[in-house]
Chain A
Amino acid sequence: AQTVTQSQPEMSVQEAETVTLSCTYDTSESNYYLFWYKQPPSRQMILVIRQEAYKQQNATENRFSVNFQKAAKSFSLKISDSQLGDTAMYFCAFMMSSNQFYFGTGTSLTVIP
């Protein structure tokens, strides 16, 4: 069975600082995709960043980057220059080759002014 673990239920960061959210997963598949989603208070799920497992290069989207360690099955999200609008729940997600998704339990991030 596939599992996704986010071990940090809550985190906080000062505005303009950098924060890293952790995610580990367990699978026997070799081809898969990993995602980070953001859920602000509006409840809308928004894609932050994606990573294909076959790509060794870590994905980057503006202030968001990942540290993908395939052997360790780790997929952490780094947010640089944190902004107040980054306050949200963040979910790590894993997609199998069958298109089935698994989500972690989320990390609630608060950016402090």
Chain B
Amino acid sequence: NAGVTQTPKFQVLKTGQSMTLQCAQDMNHNSMYWYRQDPGMGLRLIYYSASEGTTDKGEVPNGYNVSRLNKREFSLRLESAAPSQTSVYFCASSPFSDEQYFGPGTRLTVT
């Protein structure tokens, strides 16, 4: 039982490049989330998916897109990376009305 997995763990991009962060969970959870964590800002929600087939914007969605590929997988795409998107990205999953389980995070640097 791997829980929530994220790939890659580290990534360096040049401004304007695109990439997709992958997230998968094997706990049969309905809800999945993408957060970014910046110093002094806590965790801010980018997008979430309350159930398979639905996605909703969170607090900071600009510059990102998501895909809930199936119940297990929820990917985050940066179409044209900007230095302001340098951050640590966390994926999480949750059964309905319960705690969130987090992945190990991806440290992304945009130069």
Q: Mark A residues whose CB is within 8 Å of B.
A: 6, 9, 33, 35, 43-45, 47, 50, 91, 93, 95, 97-106
- Residues of A within 8 Å of B53, CB to CB, are none
Cβ A43 vs Cβ B99 within 8 A: no
Cβ A99 vs Cβ B50 within 8 A: yes
* Minimum C-beta distance from A16 to chain B (A): 29
Cβ A91 vs Cβ B43 within 8 A: yes
Cβ A98 vs Cβ B50 within 8 A: yes
- Residues of B within 8 Å of A100, CB to CB, are 45, 48, 56, 58
Which B1-26 residues have C-beta < 8 A from chain A? none
Cβ B58 vs Cβ A44 within 8 A: no
6 smallest A-B Cβ distances: which pairs?
Answer: A45-B102, A105-B42, A103-B43, A103-B42, A99-B31, A47-B99
Which B80-95 residues have C-beta < 8 A from chain A? 88, 90, 92, 94
> Which of A35, A99, A100, A106 has the largest count of B CB atoms less than 10 A from its CB?
A99
- Residues of B within 8 Å of A47, CB to CB, are 99-100
Cβ A99 vs Cβ B45 within 8 A: no
Sample of 18 more A-B contacts, CB < 8 Å, known A43-B105, A44-B105, A98-B50: A6-B42, A33-B99, A35-B100, A43-B88, A43-B104, A45-B90, A45-B100, A50-B99, A91-B43, A93-B100, A100-B48, A101-B45, A101-B48, A101-B92, A101-B100, A103-B35, A103-B42, A105-B40
Which B53-106 residues have C-beta < 8 A from chain A? 56, 58, 88, 90, 92, 94, 96-100, 102, 104-105
- Residues of A within 8 Å of B48, CB to CB, are 99-101
- Residues of B within 8 Å of A99, CB to CB, are 30-31, 48, 50, 94, 96-97
- Mind listing 5 A-B residue pairs with CB under 8 Å? A43-B88, A99-B31, A100-B45, A100-B48, A105-B42
* Minimum C-beta distance from A26 to chain B (A): 15
* Minimum C-beta distance from A25 to chain B (A): 13
- Residues of B within 8 Å of A50, CB to CB, are 99
